[in-house]
Structure 1
Amino acid sequence: MNASLALEQTASAHAGKTAYTFLNTSATYGELNETVTRFAAGLQSLGLQKGDHIALLLGNSPHFIIALYGAMRAGVTVIPVNPVYTLNEISYILQNGDVKAVVMLDLLLPATENMHESLPSVEHYIVCESGDERAAGTTASSFTIYSKLKAFSELIANRDILQCPDIHEEDTAVILYTSGTTGQPKGAMLTHKNIYSNARDVADYLSITEKDTVITVLPMFHVFCLTVVLNAPIVSGAEMIILPAFSPKEVFKAAIEKKATIFAGVPTMYNFLFQFPDSNPADFSSIRLCISGGASMPVSLLEQFEKKFNVQISEGYGLSEASPVTAFNPLDRPRKAGSIGCSISNVENKIVNELGEEVIPGQVGELIVRGPNVMKGYYKMPEETGAAIRDGWLYTGDLARQDDEGYLYIVDRKKDLVIVGGYNVYPREVEEVLYEHDDIVEAAVLGAPDPDYGEAVLAFVVQKGNSLTEEEVLNYCRERLVSYKVPRSVEFLLELPKNTTGKILRRSLKDQIVKK
């Protein structure tokens, strides 16, 4: 079984059911499946074969779903790319990923023109109309890559018969380039088995069915969205409400008008929803489940959000190399605030010491993962693959602990650990304290070199107004933390730097420290 076949099965069982709504358009599962097949045949008409690589430079739209599933149906490996990356970032991924075709928005034509000479392996640029006024005056024939351009609409109008390739579960379906903290991004190769099994197991664990309506606002190029609010709903026959971008107003509007039952987001999204001035419990009255991932959610925010909107947030955990989900708070047992829950179906999580030995409950160690969702390796990086996967276990680089009931807690990223005078300081612990302050909206903590103690704790804070002083925040921390965990300094920012998924960019904050 693979995701493309799962779509066929869903279309067979629920042909007339709405698969998605997007702005003023919608499609049934029967229509979606037919369009996917046409796109797959269209790729074959361009000469793409099983094993070739295609990149998706797209935002949230039906184009993304059709291209993703169409490519997989044709046996073509998909590389989703953040469309707002810089030219250097995009060019690196397309080169390193040996991309033969690119599906992109018309808005990106000028940028593509500027970098196409460095991409000799790209033979086709499949262009989607964005409807954006900025692209209205773009004349395709004016570009030197004109001969390589093909309209997306032409491919989905294709009437050729698809020559179905023999797809094996260990064939690479998707390559996800991880942002990484050092060096260039690494391409995590996810097989058809990885992609399908994780979607199936997430849907099973969270009881997603054809009766659900899911708000799909997380970026589709990100693995969190890809599995939890795109593939899992398709496997289950649920309806997706696709939003092109995150907006608290539009999320609440969609939830009310479509009677949505599931919302998934990163902690930053929940923070914006909570802070939205016109929000009230009725906005999420139809929601049966809120899902959080991508980063640790501050316990104070989780509890305040649940109280305000009368919903339960199931926090989970995942990483690109695991397709991504390995754990979620269960729905049939108590949810534990601050925990990422328990292992999902068919996936094992274990906490080990530096020797790879499992530690006792309560003890901190590195979280390692095993299951059908674990990648087969990094593309063209055998050494990095060997370091990440040992004896069938994926070493996540995250520090965690487990309680007596099997619930897992992420303590921090192994690389983010701050050591002050020989004492371990986990940034998340300090951040939790800062988030409990009534006047602090966001906080991020990291370490910086210190001549006396090796490292010192620094805090970056976003406040509601401008009344807080550094000394007030430090005194607040001194009352709640042992001295070596108290930040040496506090810097106030208008906002914390984030990537397109809303995850705080610690590297950008570290760069600010270095410049100082």
Structure 2
Amino acid sequence: MELQSANFFNRRLQVFKDRPQTISKMLYLSVQKYPDKKAIISNGQCITYLELWRQSRQVATYFVKKLGVKKGERISILLGNGIEFSLLFFACAHIGAILVPLNTRLKEKEIHYMISQSRSKVIVTDEEFLPKAERLREVLVDHSQMHTILVSSEPHKDYIPFNDLLMGDNEYDQTVVFESDPITLIYTSGTTGVPKGAIGSHLGFIHAAMNYRIRMKTDEKTRTLIAVPLFHVTGLIGQLLHVLSVGGTCVLMRRFKIEPFLELLKKEKITFLFNVPTIYVKLLSEKKFSIDQYESVRTVAYGGAAMPYEVISKLQSHFPDANFHNTYGATETSSPTSIMPLYYPHSKQKSVGLPILGADIKLIDQDGRECGVEEIGELYIKGSHVVEGYWNNVVGNRDSFKDGYWCSGDIARIDHDGFLYILDRKKDMINRGGENIYSLEIENLLYDHPNVKEVAVVGIPDVTFGEIVKAVIVPKHSPLTEQEIKRFVNERLADYKVPAQVEFVKELPRNLGGKLLKAQLK
């Protein structure tokens, strides 16, 4: 794919010369080629590409004609994975509205902040989250000026039935949508403070989807099983938009459960998987999974956390015909920044791959100097896939965006061949008496221990050294001792990296996206 230089968001970026200008146009290209093909399958229902196009335009028409939604206004959705989520996403794309996908696991206080900070005009929810929505309605200051829509088989007082949105026509005064326009506000997890609404653009989402297609060689035969939440970029962009853009089929699970996942994997002849490592670890612990092979699967992608090498090796025996892709990205990069290529030397196995096309990355050390090859520094990222900034957040934009680059907060290195290696989160780096220790290095080593199922390494306060290393471990079936773990690390790493404390737990705290919550551990 040929790249050319262009100006967006006051940045000089590399963009694909041949690209759809909006997400709506990207979908329409698939509709023209595959009108009667199944686009989405969810909970026994299916929708073709033409139906997806028509129904999403009906929803868009209702927003414009009945609710007076204008370009740039926000629509918050508190929904599980389903066809309705997909219709709302594309409806917003058609009319230039901004979708605010809310994490359904958050408490009312957190959701209240996101709805209020985004000044959403419409809120859409379903029966499962109706109690939470009701409590929100009681405290939202501008509730009387908001429209609330409910996905439900039964009518509820004060809520517009979602089915009403599909009863009218699909013609509205065409809104001019530009590729630089926002399509989503996806709020960061907020584990270190107030959540920040990352402004995802049509430009960013389109380049992300195109890069996935290029690196992973997906096409109209691709069938993906989406078990991660659509309110995260992996599900929304890495799977839904990406696979629909190539004319494939998306099978949606409302949430991940092992037995239904395995049933759909075989029944729907899934070819493409993209999950957080936690899901793959859970699959390997299931007897029904471990006794079989899944020859239909051609791609196994993973990201969001380190994947133990033992897990990769075991998965390869169950997916014998699949290519494995480690990926690295964030909400702020519209999902991908680097993706492992199809073929690479074994020596690169610890890498998160090569930067995607159009990505400009560099490493900056503690003194603000740009790092050279194999030097260690914070990863800065610029490109067409990077968000414009944070919604109404002057401080966040000042601190996180510098000279057009997003400051990722990840400590990394780049080797002589351009492969990227993530060493740690900047905030998770441990400083023991002046020695910088990367927790990920110790975690990766401990995953090689035959009796370690999961591990997290954190720094804890110490009077003498300032910080010392602590390992929190979920053992497998065999019992483990603190001395055994210390000896294992001491034989392989410098003595100052050996955990001073080891704690054994039944599980590690994670969010719904599978990300480890180290702040809780600390």
TM-score for the superposition, normalised by structure 1: 0.93
Q: How far apart in 2 are the matches of 1:272 and 1:108? A: 26
Partner of 2:136: 115
Partner of 1:157: 167
> Is 1:330 aligned to residue 341 of structure 2?
yes
Cα distance between partner residues in 2 of 1:100 and 1:112:
15
Equivalence for 2:222 = 212
What is the letter of the counterpart of residue 325 of structure 1? P
Question: Could you tell me which residue of structure 1 aligns to residue 60 of structure 2?
Answer: 40
1:346 offset after TM fit, Å? 1.7
Residue 109 of structure 1 aligns to a residue whose secondary structure is helix
Distance (whole Å) between structure 2 residues aligned to residue 115 and residue 211 of structure 1: 43
1:358 is the counterpart of 2:370: yes
Q: Which residue of structure 1 aligns with residue 112 of structure 2?
A: 91
Map of 1:104 onto structure 2:
125
The alignment partner of 1:202 has SS state of helix
**The one of 312, 321, 335 aligned to 2:332:** 321
Runs of 4+ in 1 over 6 A off after TM superposition: none
Q: Which residue of 2 aligns with 1:459?
A: 471
Q: How far did residue 71 of structure 1 move?
A: 1.6
Is the Cα contact below 8 Å between 1:75 and 1:167 reproduced in 2?
yes
Give the letter aligned to residue 24 of structure 2.
Answer: S
On the 8 A contact 1:281/1:309 being kept in 2, the answer is: no
SS in structure 1 at match of 2:236: helix
Q: Residue 140 of structure 1 aligns to a residue in which SS?
A: coil
Q: What do residues 44-88 of structure 1 show as CA deviations (whole Å, max 9, x unaligned)?
A: 121111111011111111111001111221211111101121111
Q: Residue type matched to 1:125 in 2?
A: T
- Bigger drift between 198-207 and 317-326 goes to 198-207
More deviation, 267-276/450-459: 267-276
Q: Which amino acid aligns with 1:272?
A: K
Task: Give the number of aligned pairs.
Answer: 497
User: Does the alignment pair 1:372 with 2:384?
Assistant: yes
1:513 counterpart residue number: none
Q: Which moved more, 1:120-129 or 1:76-85?
A: 120-129
**Among 293, 296, 300, which residue is 2:306 paired with?**
296
Q: Tell me if structure 1 keeps the 8 A contact 2:324–2:342.
A: no
CA-CA distance at 1:160 after TM superposition: 5.4
Residue 488 (structure 1) aligned with residue 500 (structure 2): yes
Instruction: Give the deviation of 1:23 after TM superposition.
Output: 2.1
Give, as a single letter, the amino acid of the residue that structure 2 aligns with 1:422.
Answer: G
Instruction: Confirm or deny: 8 A CA contact 1:461 1:491 kept in the other structure.
Output: yes
Say which SS state the counterpart of residue 39 (structure 2) adopts: strand
Which letter maps to 2:281?
N
1:392 to 2:401 alignment: no
CA contact (8 A) 1:14 1:237 kept: yes
Letter in 1 for 2:233: V
For residue 17 of structure 1, what is the amino acid of its counterpart?
K
* Residue 78 (str. 1) matches residue 99 (str. 2): yes
Match of 1:12 among 28, 32, 47: 32
Q: Which residue of 2 aligns with 1:51?
A: 72
Distance 1:476 1:332, change over 3 A: closer
Q: What letter is aligned with 2:309?
A: V
Q: Which amino acid aligns with 1:295?
A: A
Aligned match of 2:419: 407
Match for 1:67: what amino acid?
Answer: L
Per-residue displacement from partner, 1:203-232 (whole Å, max 9, x unpaired)? 222111111111111110001111110110
The correspondence of residues 167-246 of structure 1 with structure 2, limited to 5 A, is: 167-246=177-256
Q: Residue 484 of structure 1: CA displacement?
A: 1.1
Counting aligned pairs with the same residue, the percent is 32
What residue number does 1:62 align with?
83
How far, CA to CA, are the matches of 1:481 and 1:394 in structure 2? Answer: 33
Q: Distance in 2 between matches of 1:282 and 1:108?
A: 36
- The 2-side partners of 1:490 and 1:21 are apart by 45
In 1, the alpha carbon distance for the partners of 2:82 and 2:48 equals 15
Could you tell me which residue of structure 2 aligns to residue 346 of structure 1? 358
- CA 1:109/1:252 → structure 2, altered by over 3 Å: closer, same or farther? closer
**Farther-moved stretch of structure 1 (195-204 vs 165-174):** 195-204
Structure 1 Cα separation of the partners of residues 190 and 115 of structure 2: 17
CA–CA separation in structure 2 for the residues paired with 1:296 and 1:319: 14
Give the CA deviation at 1:334.
4.4
Q: CA deviation at 1:307?
A: 4.1
Shift of the 402–281 alpha-carbon distance from structure 1 to 2, 3 Å rule, reads: farther
Amino acid at match of 2:398: G
Q: Are 1:140 and 2:163 counterparts?
A: no
* C-alpha separation in 1, matches of 2:456 and 2:323: 25
CA apart distance, 1:412: 0.6
Question: Any conservation in 2 of the 1:301–1:435 contact (CA below 8 Å)?
Answer: no
Three-state SS of the structure 2 residue aligned to 1:93 is helix
Alignment match, 1:128 = 151
Counterparts of 1:462 and 1:280 in 2: how far apart (Å)?
21
Contact 1:318 1:325 survives alignment (8 Å): yes
Find the aligned partners of 2:495 and 2:429 in 1 and give their Cα distance. 17
1: CA distance between counterparts of 2:262 and 2:130?
A: 34
Shift of residue 164, structure 1, vs aligned partner: 1.8
After TM superposition, give the deviation of residue 294 of structure 1 in Å: 1.2
Displacement of 1:320 after TM fit? 0.8
Displacement after TM superposition at 1:493 (Å): 0.9
Q: CA deviation at 1:261?
A: 0.9
Q: SS where residue 33 of structure 1 aligns?
A: helix
User: Which whole-Å deviations, capped at 9, do the CAs of 1:425-476 have from their partners, x for residues lacking one?
Assistant: 1111111122111111111110000001110111111112362222222222
Return the letter of the residue paired with 2:250. Answer: M
Secondary structure, counterpart of 2:187 in structure 1: strand
Tell me which moved more, 470-479 or 210-219: 470-479
* Residue range with higher mean Cα deviation, 223-232 or 353-362: 353-362
Q: Give, in whole Å, the separation in 2 of the partners of 1:215 and 1:63.
A: 17
- 2:276 is the counterpart of 1:266: yes
Q: Give unmatched runs, 5+ long, in structure 2.
A: 1-20
d(CA) in 2 for partners of 1:249, 1:180: 32
3-state DSSP of counterpart to 2:77: strand
- Do the aligned residues in 2 keep the contact of 1:43 with 1:71 (CA within 8 Å)? no
Quickly say closer, same or farther: Cα 1:37–1:108, change in 2 above 3 A: same
State the match for 1:444 in structure 2.
456
| Residues in 1 aligned to 2:314 and 2:441: alpha-carbon distance in whole angstroms | 18
Do the aligned residues in 2 keep the contact of 1:362 with 1:403 (CA within 8 Å)? yes
Q: Compute the displacement of 1:308 (Å).
A: 4.8
Structure 1 CA distance, aligned partners of 2:215 and 2:416?
A: 21
Shift of 1:174: 0.6
- In the alignment, is the contact (CA less than 8 A) between 1:50 and 1:165 conserved in 2? yes
Q: Secondary structure at the residue paired with 2:288?
A: coil
Q: Is the 8 A contact 2:294 2:318 kept in 1?
A: no
Q: Partner of 2:287: helix, strand, or coil?
A: coil
